[in-house]
Amino acid sequence: MTADSSTDRRKDEGASARIDALIAEIGRHDRLYYELDRPAISDAEYDALLRELSELEGAHPALRRPDSPTQRVSGRPVDEIAAVPHRRPMLSLENTYDRQEVDDWVESITEFLGVAAEELVFSCEPKLDGVALEVIYERGRFARAVTRGDGRVGDDVSHTVRTVRGLPLELEGKRAPELLEVRGEAIMTRKSFERVNRNREKAGEELFINPRNLASGTLKVLDPAVAASRPLNMVCYGLGETEGLLAAGGGEPRGHRQAMEALAALGLPTSLELSRTGPLAEVLAHHEALLARRDELPFEVDGSVIKVDSFALQERLGLRSRSPRWAIAYKFPARQGTTVVLDIAVQVGRTGALTPTAVVAPVHVSGVTITNVTLHNRDEIARLGVKVGDRVLIERAGDVIPKIVGVTVHGPGEPWHMPVACPVCGTPAREVEGEVVVRCPNPRCPGVLKRRIGHFVSRAAMDIEGVGEKLIDQLVDGGLVRELADLYALDEARLAELERMGELSARNVMEGLEQSRTRPLPRLINGLGILHVGETVAEKLAEHFGTLEALRAASLEDLQGVAGIGPSVAESVRAFLDDPDERANLDRMLERGVRPAAVAAGGSGPLAGQTFLFTGTLERMSRREAQERVKALGARLLSGVSANLSVLVAGEKPGSKLKKAQELGVRVLDEAGFLALLEQVAS
């Protein structure tokens, strides 16, 4: 060997050692920055390490490793995103905001397993507000990344997930698994999100709404260089298929905690530092601690995920169609935000009620941008003291419905008053004695008619598919529908000519209308939009009178004789039925084939005298539909288990009601038994 070749060999060895050291050092700083939010060096120092590595690899191309940080953005943009099936379905989680429902869940699994809650070990970890991912490693190397998609098939986003700095392209440790499918959440930290939006603002580009939307959009960009400019993170929380994954003490992991520790040992990012494993009381206390620290965490967290830790018990508990029985997402309470009231508009409801709505400057609360908040009525406005120009505190109750909690800063505006006329048709508004609601008394008001149609076609009423708000606007504004009965005179060809309809949409609407002609009587009564009559009152009326004809013929005294119906409701129903326009509308419905299914009334019907209670989830029909079926056959519904209960129908996750029914000797039917009963009594 010549002196020159010996020198070259020593240079290569030195370069190789330095490259290995740089990759390890950069990986350590990536984890400190992206996972733990504890950077140990400045951006300039980090860039210097990355530049040195790039120069060494350029001088020694044979030493460039596939897991090098310099290779994360080396791929070409993809032409399209392919669909990839999951080996195991990626299920979603059942959600709750209620501690009692967590207790019910624990009770259901302890009953199923035949153990006490004190004998079980649970895990609790943050529920991250990101995008579910599956990352696949083969023989220790990154192979593919796939989104959850519909749970069975997801999108191949390998080209963008390779750019995630905290995610290793090659697993650490002496023995990497032959196959490892790791599930987790792609997230964007608050700092990264703010940095991306600052850069976009400087460039005059539209800002992203929230970190989750940014993470989701980044995963599906076609150019990995764009993804690298929007620093994503990933936190691993579960497994798919694995071959050769070993726990710290040897052997396969026996539970969730051991599995997460094994992933961390391989260099994968997890939330072990923010998790807890132990008895139920401990993990629930950890949930409360996470809630208290919610705003201190570097990323968005909207709750905790509580799991049965043991894999063996998870296997016994099994899966539902969409979620595992052994886990539940315990969501945090509503979030709040402040904004300014820009205007107070008035909406017209189906009964003519004029409802004030605050139009606010867009405010981001719990992942949603809010621009409108109902103020309910004039008394609520007076209570809050809200007016245009005020800064208000907004909360999303249950992370769903926004409401104004109070005024934080009063603006210079004048107090707001309800309008004296309907804002849609101009009819003078009417105040009703004893009510806080101000109404438009014009039954032909387009605003009233649109809301009535919207209520009539809703799921709680006639459940007519395909009739949405935009179509309703076209039907009313175009004069095609002037009353509810006109829906049943619609023509498929004319519908197809409307904007954004077409033949298929028109056919779907016509099929929905056809199916609705024989909906159960309570649905029609509810759908008519009678003042003071909702689902419960509609059911009472249907159960008492049985048919539409009998209801229409009922006197005021007859109506007042219905259990649970007070004088004001009875008067409202009789006034509606006596109204010439409403009578004519009902007559035209009947002429056009509306024949609501009768309800067994007055203790008649094959299930008369029997009482039913439903618990758990049914697969073949909704609980509402099941209740309607037995009530139409003469049965009554109970709200709880007692000695007066005839039949308990128990679906998936029945909870404590099943145990109590069994103790009392109540007849219990599963879904198959319930369907068989319906067939028997119908024959």
Pick from 330, 395, 338, 341: nearest CA to 366: 395
Burial (0-12, 13-18, 19+ Cβ within 10 Å), 369: exposed
Tell me how far apart the alpha carbons of residues 403 and 392 are, in angstroms, rounded to a whole number: 10
From 127, 307, 450, 540, active-site residue: 127
Q: What are phi and psi of 373, to 5 degrees?
A: -140, 125
Cα 38 to the chain's mean position, in Å?
33
CA distance 102 to 370: 29
Contact, 70 vs 27, CB < 8 A?
no
CA angle 84, 88, 89 (to 5 degrees): 80
> How far is Cα 536 from Cα 104, in angstroms, rounded to an integer?
26
Count Cβ atoms within 10 A of the Cβ of residue 457 and give its class: 0-12 exposed, 13-18 middle, 19 or more buried. buried
Tell me how far apart the alpha carbons of residues 23 and 13 are, in angstroms, rounded to a whole number. 15
Alpha carbon distances (Å) from 98 to 83, 101, 103, 622:
37, 5, 9, 22
Buried b (16+ CB within 10 A) or exposed e, 373-396: bebbbbebbeebebbbebebebbb
Q: Which two tokens stand for residue 168?
A: 């290793």
SS3 386: coil
Q: How far apart are CA 506 and CA 471, in angstroms?
A: 10
- Which of 450, 451, 452, 448 shows the shortest CA–CA distance to 425? 448
Polymer length in residues for the chain: 683
DSSP 79: S
Q: Secondary structure of 617-668 in the HEC alphabet?
A: ECCCCCHHHHHHHHHHCCCEECCCCCCCCCEEEECECCCHHHHHHHHHCCEE
Cα 389 to Cα 411: distance, rounded to the nearest angstrom: 5
Rounded to 5°, angle at Cα 106 from 105 and 107: 90
Q: How many CA atoms lie within 13 A of 465 on its CB side?
A: 10
Are 238 and 255 in contact by the 8 Å Cβ rule? The answer is no
Q: One-letter amino acid identity for 655?
A: G
Q: Tokens for 328?
A: 């539940």
Q: How far is CA 354 from CA 83, 376, 441, in A?
A: 49, 9, 10
Q: Parallel, antiparallel, or unpaired for β 647-650 and 611-615?
A: parallel
Q: Is 631 a catalytic residue?
A: no
Read off φ and ψ for residue 320, nearest 5 degrees. -90, -175
Burial class (CB in 10 A: 0-12, 13-18, 19+), 337: middle
Q: Which residues are catalytic?
A: 127
